[in-house]
Structure 1
Amino acid sequence: MRGMGTVAKRADAVKQSEALNLKQTAEYMWPYIWAFKGRVLLALAALLAAKAATLYLPYALKLIIDDLDPSLNSVVTLPLAFLLFYGALRFGSVFFGEVRDALFSRVTEHAMRKVGLRVFNHLHQLELSFHLDRQTGGISRDIERGTNGISFLMRFLMFNIVPTLLEILLVAVIFALLFSYWYALLTFVAVALYVAFTFYVTEWRNKYIREANQADSATNSRAVDSLLNYETVKYFNNEAYEERTYDQFLAHWETAKLKNRMSLLALNSGQALIIALAITLMMWMAAQGVLDKELTLGDLAMVNAYMLQLFIPLNFLGFVYREIRRSLTDLENMLGLLKKEAAIKDKAQAPQLQLPQGRIEFKQVHFSYQPGRPILNGLSFVVEPGQKLAIVGASGAGKSTIARLLYRFYDIHSGAIEIDGQDIRDVTQHSLRQSIAIVPQDTVLFNTSIRENIRYGKPDASEAEVDQVIKMAHLEAFIQSLPQGDQTLVGERGLKVSGGEKQRIAIARVLLKGSPILIFDEATSALDSNSEAAILQALAELAEHHTSLVIAHRLSTIIDADNILVMHQGAVAEAGTHQQLLAKQGLYAQLWAKQQEAKIKAE
């Protein structure tokens, strides 16, 4: 837990140093907004029309009241024109607001799509170590919250903050022109007090909101953890203990929610007091004007309507302010992903990998994941074209690291890795990885059909090509046994199919990719003996006429290899065929003896 706290503090420090503000956000979002400048300009026109209708409403109400006032008119009649005008303004304020939303939503959604796609593509360009260090769920939440933050900022800045400020200014101008500057001054003072109070109290409330959210998350996590461990609870008769523990979490949540509610009461009450004082003082001034024959009853109603109209959008100010801050943080987290530079990059004007033969050579390769913990120490070996090279050794000897380096998921510290005489750091990553296919130890499948998982090896493959590799991977019998055939869904991470079936799917996928270099990374280590025998036959057929690298744990699976390397402490300790290594009576012979002894005991 200490480590987690340290990481969290370090991340917070980074975030603070890179904190976004509205100006930076606007500069970043402007190209996406201006891409639809026609829609933006029409949305602004609709916004102005909606605001104009809204501002005219209190004035139309004044005209109706004054027309019905006997003290101003000797003959009082129904002001039909004014009533129709008022109705039209009321409809127009809503209609033009809806038109504005409809026009601008396309701009917002396009920006969310483009930014989300840009982040998604960028994440695929980052090195493997970045993804191993980050939680995938956290990254997806950063993207989701970031794109939602874009939507919120664009909508509320365009349709709430800016229009409200414009309305305050225009109402103050109207008061100054129609009545006196005292009305305008009082309006500004009231709004300033309201805004200052809202910002101050919202900042004070944030600690209670965070406490309530944390308590809610902790309570939910505890409940889920307890239910996921249902069997363990039953094994130890700890239902009462779980109930007491959960109730403690609920009690903390209840207390936190109470603080949150009371702080909200303080915010709403203070806002209501400022509004009430401002409107009361304004109405007192207007009422005195009516008594002094300087204003009409319509003017009195208009002042009241304008003040109410002003403070209705300001009622949401605390929420908007808090959400803008949250949206800026969410957007900052997402854009922080874009700022992350890829550690593995193609050189400028890097050529495509040319593969006339498929010869692989490691030359004095040194590599470590972390300083002070070397994995490979001057590793050198050659895989001749069409040859099958096996690599064995104890756990931690660096076997799987070789496959990662060949794919250039990491760059080596010194030495060189060459394919047909070309350093893999000098060619494009795309052409390098297109030339290599792998059957991994743990094949991870997408939650789609068997056929779509096979087609992933070559998304544009024809139906005939997919059918052919299904036959070559000996998948036909298995697929025909399923009610839905190759349209059967494999489940999340392929959990609905067995290990042997997953490996066959992986083999079919590799066959479809058609790469000249193959890697088998302990492809049978998790299988039982019967499945292993069937998969080994399929792997042997797959490896024909290919340069292949086999990383193995079970030595019985690589006795037919053209050459076997025995790894020890990041270097080659022994090399030769199966028979040659047994004759040496070295590390390989010891490993072979141990595995044969274990096999006999298991039988």
Structure 2
Amino acid sequence: MKGGDVAPRVSAREVAARFARYYRPYRGLFFFDLVCATALAGVDLAFPQLLNFFTREFFQRPPEEVLASLGGIALLFTALYALRTGCQYFITSWGHIMGARMEADMRRDLFAQYQRLSFSYYDRNNTGEMMSRLLTDLFDISELAHHGPENLFVCVLKIAGSFALLFLVNVPLTAVMLAATVLMAAYALWRNYRKRVVFTENRRKMADINARLQDSLGGIRVVKSFGNEDVEMGKFAHANARFVSTKESSYRFMGSFHAVSSAFTGVLYGITVVGGGYFVATGDLAATDLAIYALYIGIFLSPVEVLINFTEQFQKGYAGFRRFAEVLALRPDIEDAPGAIDLAEAVRGRSGGAAAPSSVRYRGVRFSYDGEREVLRGLDLDVPAGATVALVGPSGGGKTTTCSLLPRFYDPAAGSVEIDGIDVRSLAVSSLRDAIGIVQQDVYLFGGTVRENIAYGRPGASDAEVERAARRANVHDFIVGLPDGYDTCVGERGARLSGGQKQRLAIARVFLKDPRILILDEATSALDNESERAVQRSLAELAAGRTTLVIAHRLSTIRNADLIAVVEDGRVGELGTHEELLALGGTYARYCEMQFGPTGWPVAAQGRGE
């Protein structure tokens, strides 16, 4: 197996560039959001200046002139604050709408990436962590997407504007303020760097909790059958305690940060009162100017507090987006090769348009899941077109791995897998998988209706086609006997159906797909005898006229296979018909004796299938 699908480290520059790309579809909305933010900041900065003008100059004029102008002043302030109200509405509503749309775009891209990634990624990662990235991380990212640029923009405007106006009022006092602000900024940057580590760890611990929930709830029947509710509670309590520990660390960081920030606010007001009092006493500052100065300090502190809160939001969003970007940066290890061939077109060209089964060949195939222990060690196997070849052997011998290489769930480290003489790595993955149908022991049904689950074999199939597939799978009569027939909900993972019923729905799904090649991976091993007989009849019809690979532990199900391959230690150790392998007296003959005793094969042998 290749080493792809491993999350790479993504640089801060790459994170910023990818984040910025999500603003492109909403440039107009984003631009108007910043315009409104600018107008809002302008109104806030203008108010003290207007108040200064009115108190120092305009209200010193004759009373008649002042009284005559009050209506106009009222209209001016009404217009200014109507503008501010409208801008605030746009920022709050449409700004959040923009963030929600960006979140939806990111969730779409992440889900699409999950669909592209190969089995090797899912072998190494749990679904709880993937769900955490889809839900928790993206919510924090959307908040950052909306508030981040806008808050930074407004805060820079207000801080720069208020400082400029403060310098106009009194330079020495403002210089002291600036020095205190620089010290606070340096402290904030230092704390933010440490806080980023804490929030990243929070994300990991939340993913652990999601994984623990997924595992426990998904296996609730096993939990209850063993009476292990207390064991699961203990496991969850451990994961929960680790999460609480990291949350406590983050809250301690936040507490100290906000405490220092609050002290900084007090320091600035103290400097204003003491320093301003000194300059008033020396005649360098008018008392009215000190009042205006205090107003601007308030305007200055407001964005500072926003920035302080933003640092927490930024760290959450940045940690989440970095995890998001790392997944998007993955290159799947199973991809179409340049100039990939469409299998259906290639087969039609070779057969002159006639429908014909395909041959399968494994040549010197070597494979390892972890790059160390080889599961397949030079496996060779020829499956003639239209033949049924059964794979038997010990657990872990490589049977399922052999079948998994055919639809390119994984790629071999050496050797090749071919269909009709074409290496599967040179085929378009979609056309390859369209040609292969798989029925497994562990059937997965989606939480929907019977009809939807069968139609999953060929999305867009008509009701008549779905019913025809169900009849061929010998499951139609059972379906029409359900309360709502084909519209009956099967429950989560088909919980409302028996094992045999789920298996036959899975077979109907493959009938509808109508593949050229069939893989049956222990499709009846978990069924009782009656269900097995019903499913075997369906499988026998499904396999007719198709090239079929069968994995079986119940040897009675594969006696009539055209060939039986004994796969052990990653190689084909024996190959032949049932009679030939019995005569050989090797591993297969020993398996038969273990299952059926020295008297030989049971009289009621099954037909071709599984």
Asked whether the equivalents of residues 565 and 573 of structure 1 are also in contact (C-alpha less than 8 Å), the reply is yes
Name the CA distance, whole Å, in 2 between partners of 1:122 and 1:342: 9
Asked whether the equivalents of residues 172 and 183 of structure 1 are also in contact (C-alpha less than 8 Å), the reply is no
Q: Residue 110 of structure 2 aligns to which amino acid in structure 1?
A: V
Deviates more, 1:58-67 or 1:547-556: 58-67
Instruction: Tell me which residue corresponds to 1:172.
Output: 163
Asked whether the equivalents of residues 193 and 274 of structure 1 are also in contact (C-alpha less than 8 Å), the reply is no
- Cα 1:35–1:360 shift into 2, 3 Å: same
How many pairs are equivalent? Answer: 578
Instruction: Tell me which residue corresponds to 2:412.
Output: 412
Question: Does 2:499 align with 1:499?
Answer: yes
Q: Tell me the CA shift for residue 597 of structure 1.
A: 4.5
Deviates more, 1:535-544 or 1:43-52: 43-52
Pick 1 or 2: higher relative contact order, CA cutoff 8 A, min separation 6.
2
Name the CA distance, whole Å, in 2 between partners of 1:262 and 1:426: 56
- Cα 1:264–1:36 shift into 2, 3 Å: closer
- Cα 1:366–1:337 shift into 2, 3 Å: same
Aligned runs of 1:123-272 on 2, under 5 Å? 123-177=114-168, 179-200=169-190, 266-272=256-262
Instruction: Tell me which residue corresponds to 2:482.
Output: 482
Asked whether the equivalents of residues 159 and 303 of structure 2 are also in contact (C-alpha less than 8 Å), the reply is no
Q: Tell me the CA shift for residue 592 of structure 1.
A: 1.5
Question: Does 2:581 align with 1:581?
Answer: yes
Asked whether the equivalents of residues 211 and 256 of structure 1 are also in contact (C-alpha less than 8 Å), the reply is no
Q: Residue 511 of structure 2 aligns to which amino acid in structure 1?
A: L
Name the CA distance, whole Å, in 1 between partners of 2:478 and 2:281: 94
Instruction: Tell me which residue corresponds to 1:450.
Output: 450
Unpaired runs of 5+ in structure 1?
1-13
Please point out which of 116, 121, 131 is paired with 2:112: 121
Question: Does 2:301 align with 1:311?
Answer: yes
Asked whether the equivalents of residues 361 and 383 of structure 1 are also in contact (C-alpha less than 8 Å), the reply is yes
Q: Residue 582 of structure 1 aligns to which amino acid in structure 2?
A: L
Instruction: Describe the SS at the equivalent of 2:426.
Output: coil
Please point out which of 13, 19, 22 is paired with 1:29: 19
- Cα 1:374–1:204 shift into 2, 3 Å: closer
Instruction: Tell me which residue corresponds to 2:330.
Output: 340
Asked whether the equivalents of residues 394 and 568 of structure 1 are also in contact (C-alpha less than 8 Å), the reply is yes
Asked whether the equivalents of residues 42 and 103 of structure 1 are also in contact (C-alpha less than 8 Å), the reply is no
Name the CA distance, whole Å, in 1 between partners of 2:523 and 2:288: 86
Name the CA distance, whole Å, in 2 between partners of 1:543 and 1:251: 52
Deviates more, 1:86-95 or 1:351-360: 86-95
Aligned runs of 1:325-364 on 2, under 5 Å? 325-353=315-343, 354-355=346-347, 356=351, 357=356, 358-364=358-364
Name the CA distance, whole Å, in 1 between partners of 2:125 and 2:165: 56
Deviates more, 1:584-593 or 1:544-553: 584-593
Instruction: Describe the SS at the equivalent of 1:350.
Output: coil
1:376-423 deviation per Cα after TM superposition (whole angstroms, max 9, x unaligned): 233222222222111111212211111101111222233322211211
Name the CA distance, whole Å, in 1 between partners of 2:450 and 2:415: 41
1:73-123 deviation per Cα after TM superposition (whole angstroms, max 9, x unaligned): 656648343344334333432321321344444543443333332332233
Name the CA distance, whole Å, in 1 between partners of 2:568 and 2:412: 18
- Cα 1:222–1:461 shift into 2, 3 Å: closer
Deviates more, 1:158-167 or 1:197-206: 197-206
Instruction: Tell me which residue corresponds to 1:565.
Output: 565
- Cα 1:298–1:97 shift into 2, 3 Å: farther
Q: Residue 276 of structure 1 aligns to which amino acid in structure 2?
A: G
Q: Residue 458 of structure 1 aligns to which amino acid in structure 2?
A: R
Asked whether the equivalents of residues 146 and 332 of structure 1 are also in contact (C-alpha less than 8 Å), the reply is no
Identity of aligned residues (%): 30
- Cα 1:322–1:268 shift into 2, 3 Å: closer
Asked whether the equivalents of residues 368 and 376 of structure 1 are also in contact (C-alpha less than 8 Å), the reply is yes
TM-score, normalising length from structure 2? 0.82
Q: Tell me the CA shift for residue 55 of structure 1.
A: 1.4
- Cα 1:446–1:563 shift into 2, 3 Å: same
Q: Tell me the CA shift for residue 581 of structure 1.
A: 2.6
Instruction: Tell me which residue corresponds to 1:387.
Output: 387
Instruction: Describe the SS at the equivalent of 2:553.
Output: coil
Q: Tell me the CA shift for residue 66 of structure 1.
A: 4.9
- Cα 1:217–1:543 shift into 2, 3 Å: closer
Name the CA distance, whole Å, in 1 between partners of 2:509 and 2:534: 17
Question: Does 2:103 align with 1:112?
Answer: yes
1:170-196 deviation per Cα after TM superposition (whole angstroms, max 9, x unaligned): 11222333x233354244234323333
Q: Tell me the CA shift for residue 42 of structure 1.
A: 2.0
Q: Residue 113 of structure 1 aligns to which amino acid in structure 2?
A: A
Name the CA distance, whole Å, in 1 between partners of 2:594 and 2:291: 97
- Cα 1:137–1:550 shift into 2, 3 Å: same
Name the CA distance, whole Å, in 1 between partners of 2:94 and 2:285: 41
Q: Tell me the CA shift for residue 428 of structure 1.
A: 1.4
Question: Does 2:516 align with 1:526?
Answer: no
Name the CA distance, whole Å, in 2 between partners of 1:595 and 1:260: 60
Name the CA distance, whole Å, in 2 between partners of 1:544 and 1:142: 45
- Cα 1:155–1:268 shift into 2, 3 Å: same
Q: Residue 122 of structure 1 aligns to which amino acid in structure 2?
A: Q
TM-score, normalising length from structure 1? 0.83
Name the CA distance, whole Å, in 1 between partners of 2:207 and 2:401: 38
Instruction: Describe the SS at the equivalent of 1:524.
Output: coil
Question: Does 2:94 align with 1:100?
Answer: no
Q: Tell me the CA shift for residue 154 of structure 1.
A: 2.5
Q: Tell me the CA shift for residue 350 of structure 1.
A: 1.6
Instruction: Describe the SS at the equivalent of 1:560.
Output: coil
1:552-583 deviation per Cα after TM superposition (whole angstroms, max 9, x unaligned): 11011112212212222222222222233333
Instruction: Tell me which residue corresponds to 2:606.
Output: none
- Cα 1:288–1:315 shift into 2, 3 Å: same
Q: Residue 133 of structure 1 aligns to which amino acid in structure 2?
A: R
Question: Does 2:263 align with 1:273?
Answer: yes
Instruction: Describe the SS at the equivalent of 2:335.
Output: coil
- Cα 1:266–1:399 shift into 2, 3 Å: closer
Asked whether the equivalents of residues 198 and 246 of structure 2 are also in contact (C-alpha less than 8 Å), the reply is no
Q: Tell me the CA shift for residue 223 of structure 1.
A: 12
Name the CA distance, whole Å, in 2 between partners of 1:131 and 1:407: 16
Asked whether the equivalents of residues 416 and 423 of structure 2 are also in contact (C-alpha less than 8 Å), the reply is yes
Asked whether the equivalents of residues 166 and 174 of structure 2 are also in contact (C-alpha less than 8 Å), the reply is yes
Q: Tell me the CA shift for residue 297 of structure 1.
A: 6.2
Deviates more, 1:138-147 or 1:59-68: 59-68
Compute the RMSD of aligned alpha carbons. 4.0
Deviates more, 1:577-586 or 1:464-473: 577-586
Asked whether the equivalents of residues 33 and 111 of structure 1 are also in contact (C-alpha less than 8 Å), the reply is yes
Name the CA distance, whole Å, in 2 between partners of 1:511 and 1:129: 28
- Cα 1:29–1:371 shift into 2, 3 Å: closer
- Cα 1:79–1:325 shift into 2, 3 Å: same
- Cα 1:536–1:120 shift into 2, 3 Å: same
1:352-396 deviation per Cα after TM superposition (whole angstroms, max 9, x unaligned): 112343111222323333445332233222222222111111212
Q: Tell me the CA shift for residue 289 of structure 1.
A: 6.7
Deviates more, 1:405-414 or 1:533-542: 405-414
Please point out which of 48, 68, 71 is paired with 1:58: 48
Aligned runs of 1:550-561 on 2, under 5 Å? 550-561=550-561
Q: Tell me the CA shift for residue 25 of structure 1.
A: 3.4
Instruction: Tell me which residue corresponds to 2:3.
Output: none
Asked whether the equivalents of residues 200 and 320 of structure 2 are also in contact (C-alpha less than 8 Å), the reply is no
Q: Residue 332 of structure 1 aligns to which amino acid in structure 2?
A: R
Instruction: Tell me which residue corresponds to 1:10.
Output: none
Asked whether the equivalents of residues 128 and 210 of structure 2 are also in contact (C-alpha less than 8 Å), the reply is no
1:289-347 deviation per Cα after TM superposition (whole angstroms, max 9, x unaligned): 77788766654443222211221232243332133123222211111112222222322
Instruction: Describe the SS at the equivalent of 1:35.
Output: helix
Instruction: Describe the SS at the equivalent of 2:437.
Output: strand
Q: Tell me the CA shift for residue 469 of structure 1.
A: 0.9
